[in-house]
């Protein structure tokens, strides 16, 4: 058996060897482990209904890449850093780290400089990332001090390229600046991310819920949101709510 990278996975007992080199996420790439997941969906206290509760996996965020990044990645990074310097902004103050992972280039941006970086990527003639296809929220409870992440996909129609921006905010201060003024298409995407994750996009023209009722309590896609559910009757059989189903672990 092999994993997604073609490495053999036979012969490893993950219960005893979390650092095994052929476990997913263990690549020695300088990444940061944020938690260890046990059970197929990380459930505990008898909540694993997957039928296999023995899985154990280290969950890691990829570390910063080192140059050369390869292909056109270096060209984009050089142009972005040079453009920021011309504006009087030190690139190391705006770009927390640059990640190349799974063939994608991601700039991790300090949230206070997000708008400046996005506008530079859009307007610089050598970059021209004219389109933002949306923003997605991610919740990492184990990533202390930066539990909430917002991920933006930017596409250059001029140069046929795709990069990602990622910013983080702590649970205690879930604020990031809105990019609607730079990319108007982000309007509803920011509302959805707010609705499901509780990320507040400062400067959004009308940051209200878009899927859930206005009076809904909590943010349903956060990992600390209770599973809950409604019992369902199907052909005479009662299907209990997810948090009340039988555990096989």
Domain 73-202 class, CATH top level: alpha beta
Contacting residues for 171 by C-beta, under 8 A, at least 6 apart: 147, 148
Question: At 212, is the pLDDT very low, low, confident or very high (cuts 50, 70, 90)?
Answer: very high
Look at the chain and count its residues.
249
Contacting residues for 86 by C-beta, under 8 A, at least 6 apart: none
Place of tokens 């920021």: 84
Question: At 21, is the pLDDT very low, low, confident or very high (cuts 50, 70, 90)?
Answer: very low
**pLDDT tens per residue across span 108-143:** 999 999 999 999 999 999 999 999 999 999 999 989
Pairing relation of β-strands 148-156 and 161-169? antiparallel
Domain locations along the chain: 1-63, 73-202
pTM of the model: 0.79
The mean of the pLDDT values for the chain is 84
More confident residue, 50 or 17: 50
| Beta-carbon-side half-sphere exposure of residue 70 (alpha carbons within 13 Å) | 9
**pLDDT tens per residue across span 174-201:** 999 999 999 999 999 999 999 999 999 9
CA distance 192 to 161: 26
């Amino acid at each position: 058996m092999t994993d997604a990278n073609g490495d053999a996975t036979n012969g490893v007992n993950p219960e005893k060897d979390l650092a095994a080199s052929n476990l997913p996420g263990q690549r020695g790439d300088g990444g940061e482990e944020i938690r260890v997941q046990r059970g197929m969906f990380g459930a505990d206290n008898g909540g694993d209904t997957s039928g296999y509760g023995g899985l154990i996996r280290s969950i890691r965020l990829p570390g910063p890449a080192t140059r050369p990044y390869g292909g056109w990645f270096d060209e984009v990074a050089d142009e972005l850093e040079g453009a920021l310097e011309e504006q009087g902004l030190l690139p190391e103050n705006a770009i927390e780290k640059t990640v190349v992972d799974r063939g994608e280039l991601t700039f991790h941006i300090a949230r206070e400089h997000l708008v400046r970086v996005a506008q530079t990527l859009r307007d610089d003639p050598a970059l021209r990332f004219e389109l933002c296809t949306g923003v997605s929220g991610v919740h990492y409870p184990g990533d202390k001090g930066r539990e909430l992440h917002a991920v933006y996909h930017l596409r250059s129609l001029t140069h046929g390229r795709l990069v990602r921006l990622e910013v983080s905010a702590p649970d205690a201060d879930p604020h990031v600046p809105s990019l609607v003024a730079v990319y108007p298409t982000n309007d509803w995407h920011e509302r959805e991310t707010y609705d499901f994750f509780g990320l507040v996009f400062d400067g959004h023209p009308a940051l209200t819920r878009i899927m859930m009722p206005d009076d809904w309590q909590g943010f349903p896609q956060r990992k600390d949101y209770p599973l809950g559910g409604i019992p369902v009757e199907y052909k005479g059989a009662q299907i209990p709510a997810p948090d009340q189903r039988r555990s096989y672990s």
